Chain A
Amino acid sequence: MKKTRKKYTLYEIGQGYTFMLPAIFVLAVFIIAPILYAIFLSFHKVELLGGSSYDFRGIDNFVKLMEDERAKIALWNTIKYVVIVVPAQTLLALVLAATLNAGLKGEKFFRIVYFLPTLTSSAVLTLIFMWMYNQNGLINKLLGMIGLPGYNWIGDPDVALPAIMIMNIWSTAPFFMTIYLAALQDIPDTVYEAAKIDGANFWQKFWYVTVPQLKPVTSFVVIMGLIGTFQLFDQSYIFSKGSGGPNNSTLTVVLLVYQYAFKNLGTMGYAAAMALGLALVILLATLLQRKFSKEENLY
């Protein structure tokens, strides 16, 4: 087909848009309009009592964001969470996938077992962990058995966030493991054979062949991990009954957005500004990651 100006028949146009209609409707009403609406809201003070009223405030909401102590705590908690969880879950996923890919017996069984957390909802996982984390619970008992002190996992501000971190590394690593596993099976055997001839042992093969070959997948896993961890909500909401406590230690940015939007009156515009700020942070983090992994590819 030549790339001159295409003429569409009315029939073709009708056909195309018939197929696209539901998608266009949802995109327009529930995604694109809300994005513009969010930008509009972020410059306004919104009152929802009775009807809705919008009061233009310029950049007030963004200025307030800079001075809000709880927003700083939430951002700091979220960053701590991202910085620890993303590398940990990526490394664990890689190690598990490489181990599963070594051609051992019973591989299928382990795969099925490892997949369980991926199937289970965050609400159920959080409840199970809260049950295990309680003061008289399984985890403290097990720690006691090997002579370690127990913690007040849910009530102590110093350990509440790490408790959520442990749970989420445990529950998301297997999902990324499956992605790694698929990629591992695409690495040609000849590369390993060549390494074997050069006298590489298991660890050398892993470090000098497998890891570099997986670079694009790792980049993808890290970006997905960043997007996921920055949006932490369900777990800290259930853990702290929506408060972000104890002492703001499990307060995340999304939880704070939720509180300002739906629990406090008159702060919905401010919440919209905060959500936009978070989107910007996520965007920056993924761009940085991309730039970083591209530079690595240079040598």
Chain B
Amino acid sequence: MRKYGVGKVILYTILILYAIITLIPFLWAVSSSFKSLEEIVKGTIDFWPKDFTLDNYKQIFIQQEHFPRWLFNSLFIAIVGTILNLLFNSMAGYALARLSFPGKKGLFIIILAVLMIPAQVTMIPNFLILKSLGWLNTYQGIIVPSMINATFIFMMRQFFLNFPKELEEAASLDGLTKLGTFFRIVLPLAKPALAAQAIFVFMGFWNDFMRPLIVMSDVEMFTLPLGLNTFKGQFISYWNYIMAASMVFTMPVLILYAFFNRYFVKGVTFTGEK
């Protein structure tokens, strides 16, 4: 065993200190969500609630009648949006990697260029387009414009470029069409890439604030981030409710992370690849 050097002590100090800095806000939020209003008002700094209560969690569903609906809206948009993205991004990525057709190169260049356009430029025209389609305040108003993602089309193309060709050739000898080969052979083998993509697309929909803010004006159609924001306006000093609602909102992503931890890191490095 090597001796513990000064260097190691410094490194551990940095790691532990930063872990504390990262954890404090979350621990504080969790603990506040289990505190009674009196304890909140007193403003003491106890990370362990004096009288531990689940009331806040029960109350948010009663006090704010729309809360279950917001939860549903968020889940619905995120799940449907993710499934469509997985399907369409993979199809486009596959076509760009494996099929030959006129205009392929041009399309690829357009997709790369689109990666660089900030969302604010398209935000206002998109609002007007959705308005004339009658899609404001609808699920499709959020889902359809985001049902493909240039970053992940690019990622899937790279993935399929490195994909062994032999399997597809064998499938076509067996008489499968390209579409059949894609759905029966290629997609099942692309699971790791799809998992990383699914997580990031889901989080993108789940956490999105700006698009729902613009598209949804009816309180029934709000997603959780919007709901939470108005919730804060109504219950300005009820931080126990606000924190409980925030925790309900954060839970699904944490569960997803617990199950698919390794794909998260893969996804970050995928998007980080240049």
Contact = CB atoms under 8 A, between A and B. Distances in A.
A254 to B, nearest CB: 6
B26 interface: yes
B99 A122 contact: no
Contact of B203 (A19, A119, A227, A282): A119
A22 B249 CA distance: 31
A124 interface: yes
B72 to A, nearest CB: 17
Interface in B28-52: 28-29, 32, 43, 45
A19 to B, nearest CB: 4
A259 interface: no
Interface string A16-40: 1111101110110111111101100
Contact residues on A (Cβ < 8 Å of other chain), bracket: 35 or more
Interface string B146-162: 01100001000000000
B234 interface: no
A16 B45 contact: no
A183 B111 CA distance: 26
Contacts of A27: 110-111, 114, 148
A174 B22 contact: yes
B101 A8 contact: yes
Interface stretch (B4-12, B61-69, B163-171, B188-196): B4-12
A76 interface: no
A31 B152 CA distance: 16
B229 interface: yes
Interface in A152-206: 170, 174-175, 178-179, 182-183, 202
A30 B129 contact: yes
- Of the listed residues B21, B29, B145, B261, the one surrounded by the most CB atoms of chain A closer than 10 A to its CB is B29
A80 to B, nearest CB: 19
A6 interface: yes
B83 interface: no
- Of the listed residues A119, A134, A220, A262, the one surrounded by the most CB atoms of chain B closer than 10 A to its CB is A119
Contacts of B224: 123
Given A20-B107, A114-B22, A131 B242 contact: yes
A120 B250 contact: yes
Given A12-B99, A104-B12, A123-B228, A128 B268 contact: no
A123 B242 CA distance: 11
Interface string B204-238: 00110110011000000000110011001100000
A12 B118 contact: no
A183 B269 CA distance: 9
Interface in A205-237: 216-217, 220, 227, 230-231, 233-234, 237
Given A178-B269, A182-B268, A257-B120, 5 more contacts: A121-B206, A124-B249, A132-B28, A170-B25, A233-B209
9 contacts: A15-B178, A22-B84, A52-B128, A104-B8, A114-B19, A237-B213, A238-B209, A275-B123, A278-B118
Interface of A: 6, 8, 12-13, 15-20, 22-24, 26-27, 29-35, 37-38, 41, 52, 95-96, 99-100, 102, 104, 106, 110-125, 127-132, 134, 136-138, 141-142, 170, 174-175, 178-179, 182-183, 202, 216-217, 220, 227, 230-231, 233-234, 237-238, 241, 254, 257-258, 261-262, 268, 271-272, 275-276, 278-279, 282-283
